DNA sequence: ACCTGAACACCGTTCAAGT
DNA sequence: ACCTGAACACCGTTCAAGT
């Protein structure tokens, strides 16, 4: 049996999934700025340069975490409900998956496009839009609009203190100069984030349902 | 006249606007990754540390550029048109301003909240939403939805190759596995970015016009 | 008061070397 | 083949010093 031992190549000690999980752990623990090659290597109990045997780039590492997080999104459309409800459910799954790891938000932007999970998710949404009776052009606009909305809403929720402290500051603006904004911000403090997200989504879906919507 | 000369403090050589303009020039020329304290200082003909006399942080520097770009947005609502048309015009001004300097896109996210320009812009949009007959809660949802849409759409347009090369790649997907997505991507190649943006915005405005939109 | 250059503590990544 | 440590070319920022 020694023949095999002699010729046996040193087994790879890491896997793509393990690296992604380690990177996500670092991200969750130390935030976006804490994600460094050194930190991930340490998390894996490997020298910094050891990582480079499995990943060509920091770029590629980021892609792995993003895919790990987005891969948690179930792309299968819900079995029943109106097409509006089914699309809404799909969209909310993305928000939930990303919301569980806010530190990946800045990374999703640059890496989302390569994600097979989001590809399958998009296929489902496109299918439901077809079911809703949209033509090619309407489906293009609607799918892009939904994507833009999720992306923007997620960022609004997690980046920059517009959600928490920001609204409070705005609520204290000069009433003479910002009457409408001030009132809106004050009302905003009573609207939970979930409702806000669902409400905006409902507006978009209502527009899609109206069919056409002039360009 | 020598009394003044003796007591005269050394005049400041830089201004916030000058620094912002230099940073924007660097950004336009060398991209987001090229924006460094050293590069901006060089652009201004000053030592790297000279910058720190006017700016406490790289963070603050970024804020200055973002404000310079967003400050170009005219926050006054257009004189006439339906409220939908007037809101659409305001939203498109943001897209135009940011689109003129794509390299600031990643920065706008983290710094948008402090922008007085966007505050005035938001006041205008909130005012038009009031005019449209929305109540407090509806206005909150609509304003946030519009913000989310602009942010997301701008990023979709400028980040990650989903707009250009990405759609081409998707258009070549396995038709058996991705029938709807593939067809959509193929159609997408015939829809110019401007129309796509306006179309998605129109969906949102149509939803707002329908009033209410179930949560 | 304003500005500078050297230095420090980080990065990502290259390279030569170890098993 | 897989892994390591030293080294390089960058960052942002601190600090002591110059006018």
Q: What is the CATH number of the domain that holds B39?
A: 1.10.10.60
Average pLDDT, chain A: 90
Average pLDDT over residues B174-191: 93
Reported as a pLDDT band with limits 50, 70 and 90, residue A211 is low
In this structure, chain A runs to a length of: 215
Assess whether A177 and A113 both reside in one domain. Answer: yes
The structural domain count of chain B equals 2
Radius of gyration of chain B from its Cα atoms, rounded to whole angstroms: 22
Assess whether A165 and A120 both reside in one domain. Answer: yes
Average pLDDT, chain B: 90
Q: Do residues B160 and B166 make contact, with C-beta atoms less than 8 angstroms apart?
A: yes
- Protein-contacted bases of chain C (C-beta within 7 A): 1-6, 10-16, 19
Q: At a CB cut-off of 8 Å and minimum separation 6, what does B208 contact?
A: A203, B84, B129, B132, B134, B138, B142, B145
SS3 of residue A178 by DSSP: coil
Assess whether B166 and B143 both reside in one domain. Answer: yes
| Chain A interface disruption, residue of B113, B189, B211, most A CBs within 10 A | B113
- B10 inside domain: no
Check which CATH number belongs to the domain holding A182 and give it: 1.10.357.10
- Protein-contacted bases of chain D (C-beta within 7 A): 1-6, 10-16, 19
Q: At a CB cut-off of 8 Å and minimum separation 6, what does A6 contact?
A: none
- On chain A, the residues whose CB falls within 8 A of the CB of B202 are 207, 213-215
What's the confidence (pLDDT) of residue A47? 98
Q: What is the pLDDT of residues B92-103, one digit of tens each?
A: 999 999 999 999
pLDDT for residue B22 is more than 60:
yes
What's the confidence (pLDDT) of residue B84? 98
Average pLDDT over residues A174-190: 93
What's the confidence (pLDDT) of residue A172? 76
Q: What is the pLDDT of residues A68-118, one digit of tens each?
A: 999 999 999 999 999 999 999 999 999 999 999 999 999 998 887 778 999
Q: Do residues B107 and B73 make contact, with C-beta atoms less than 8 angstroms apart?
A: no
| Chain B interface disruption, residue of A84, A135, A149, most B CBs within 10 A | A149
**Could you say which of B151, B173, B179 has the minimum Cβ distance to residue A152?**
B151
Q: Is A96 on the interface with B (CB under 8 A)?
A: no
Report the C-alpha dihedral over residues B85, B147, A151, B101, rounded to 10 degrees. Answer: 80
pLDDT for residue B56 is more than 50:
yes
Average pLDDT over residues A8-29: 92
Q: Where would I find the H helices in B57-178?
A: 58-70, 83-99, 105-111, 116-131, 136-158, 165-171
Check B153 against A152: CB less than 8 A apart: yes
What does the longest C-alpha to C-alpha distance in chain A come to?
A: 87
What's the confidence (pLDDT) of residue A5? 43
Assess whether B63 and B154 both reside in one domain. Answer: no
Assess whether A149 and A201 both reside in one domain. Answer: yes
Reported as a pLDDT band with limits 50, 70 and 90, residue B204 is very high
% of chain B at pLDDT higher than 70? 89
Assess whether B205 and B118 both reside in one domain. Answer: yes
- Residue carrying structure tokens 């975490």: A65
Q: Which domain holds residue B63?
A: 16-70
- B109 inside domain: yes
- B199 inside domain: yes
Assess whether B30 and B117 both reside in one domain. Answer: no
* Weakest mean pLDDT among A38-47, A103-112, B197-206: A103-112
Check A140 against B184: CB less than 8 A apart: yes
Average pLDDT over residues B58-84: 97
Check B206 against A202: CB less than 8 A apart: no
Query: Which nucleotide in the DNA or RNA is closest to residue A14, CA to C1'?
Result: D2
pLDDT for residue A1 is more than 60:
no
Provide the whole-model pTM: 0.92
Q: What CA–CA distance (Å, rounded) separates B80 from B83?
A: 8
- Strand D near-CB residues (< 7 Å), A 31-60: 46-50, 52-54
Interface of A with B in 131-190 (CB under 8 A): 136-137, 139-145, 147-153, 155-156, 159-162, 166, 170, 173, 177-181, 183-184, 187-188, 190
- B114 inside domain: yes
Interface of A with B in 102-131 (CB under 8 A): 106, 109-113, 119-120, 122-123, 126-127, 129-130
- Residue carrying structure tokens 């509006």: A84
- B76 inside domain: no
Average pLDDT over residues A50-55: 97
% of chain A at pLDDT higher than 70? 89
Average pLDDT over residues A169-181: 86
What's the confidence (pLDDT) of residue B37? 98
What's the confidence (pLDDT) of residue B214? 39
Q: Where would I find the H helices in chain A?
A: 2-7, 16-30, 37-44, 58-70, 83-99, 105-111, 116-131, 136-158, 165-171, 179-188, 193-209
Please classify residue A18 by burial: count the beta carbons closer than 10 Å to its beta carbon, then call 0-12 exposed, 13-18 middle and 19+ buried: middle
CA-based nearest distance B33→chain A, Å: 13
Q: Is A95 on the interface with B (CB under 8 A)?
A: no
What's the confidence (pLDDT) of residue A169? 73
- A78 inside domain: no
- On chain B, the residues whose CB falls within 8 A of the CB of A213 are 199, 202-203, 205-206
CA-based nearest distance B37→chain A, Å: 18
Name the residue of chain A whose CA is nearest to B122's CA: A181
SS3 of residue B76 by DSSP: coil
What's the confidence (pLDDT) of residue B212? 44
Assess whether A124 and A187 both reside in one domain. Answer: yes
Average pLDDT over residues B67-73: 97
* Weakest mean pLDDT among A24-28, A156-160, B144-148, B162-166: B162-166
- A11 inside domain: no
% of chain B at pLDDT higher than 90? 80
Reported as a pLDDT band with limits 50, 70 and 90, residue A61 is very high
pLDDT for residue B104 is more than 90:
yes
DSSP string across B130-147: HHTT--HHHHHHHHHHHH
Q: How many CA atoms are closer than 13 Å to the CA of A189, on its beta-carbon side? A: 14
- A37 inside domain: yes
Assess whether A66 and A88 both reside in one domain. Answer: no
Assess whether A180 and A90 both reside in one domain. Answer: yes
Q: What CA–CA distance (Å, rounded) separates A196 from A35?
A: 31
Assess whether B180 and B119 both reside in one domain. Answer: yes
Is any atom of strand D within 7 angstroms of residue A9's beta carbon? Answer: yes
B131-150 burial, b at 16+ Cβ within 10 Å, e below that, comes to ebebeebbbbbbbbbbbbbb
Q: Is the dihedral of CA A5, A7, A8, A12 positive or negative?
A: positive
**Could you say which of B150, B180, B207 has the minimum Cβ distance to residue A207?**
B207
Query: Which nucleotide in the DNA or RNA is closest to residue B44, CA to C1'?
Result: C3
Q: Do residues A64 and A20 make contact, with C-beta atoms less than 8 angstroms apart?
A: yes
Assess whether B118 and B207 both reside in one domain. Answer: yes
Token code pair at residue A104: 């990946």
Tell which wins on pLDDT, A166 or A112: A112
pLDDT for residue A215 is more than 50:
no
B50-81 burial, b at 16+ Cβ within 10 Å, e below that, comes to ebeebbeeeeebbbbbbbbbbbebebebeeee
What's the confidence (pLDDT) of residue B3? 39
Determine which helix (DSSP H) or strand (DSSP E) holds B38, and give its type and residue range.
helix B37-44
């Amino acid at each position: 049996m020694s023949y095999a031992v002699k010729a046996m190549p040193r087994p790879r000690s890491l896997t793509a999934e393990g690296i992604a999980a380690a990177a996500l752990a670092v991200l969750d623990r130390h935030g976006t700025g804490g994600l460094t090659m050194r930190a991930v290597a340490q998390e894996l109990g490997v020298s910094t340069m050891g990582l480079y045997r499995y990943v060509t780039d920091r770029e590629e590492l980021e892609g792995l975490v993003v895919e790990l997080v987005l891969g948690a999104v179930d792309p299968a459309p819900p079995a029943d409900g109106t097409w509006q409800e089914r699309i809404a459910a799909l969209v909310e799954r993305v928000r939930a998956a990303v919301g569980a790891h806010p530190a990946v938000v800045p990374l999703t932007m640059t890496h989302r496009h390569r994600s097979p999970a989001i590809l399958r998710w998009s296929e489902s949404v496109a299918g439901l839009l077809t079911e809703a009776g949209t033509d090619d052009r309407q489906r293009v606009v609607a799918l892009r609009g939904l994507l833009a909305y999720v992306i923007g809403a997620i960022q609004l929720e997690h980046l920059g203190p517009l959600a928490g402290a920001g609204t409070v500051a705005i609520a204290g603006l000069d009433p003479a100069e910002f009457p409408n904004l001030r009132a809106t911000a004050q009302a905003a403090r009573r609207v939970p984030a979930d409702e806000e997200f669902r409400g905006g989504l409902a507006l978009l879906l209502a527009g899609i349902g109206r069919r056409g919507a002039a360009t």
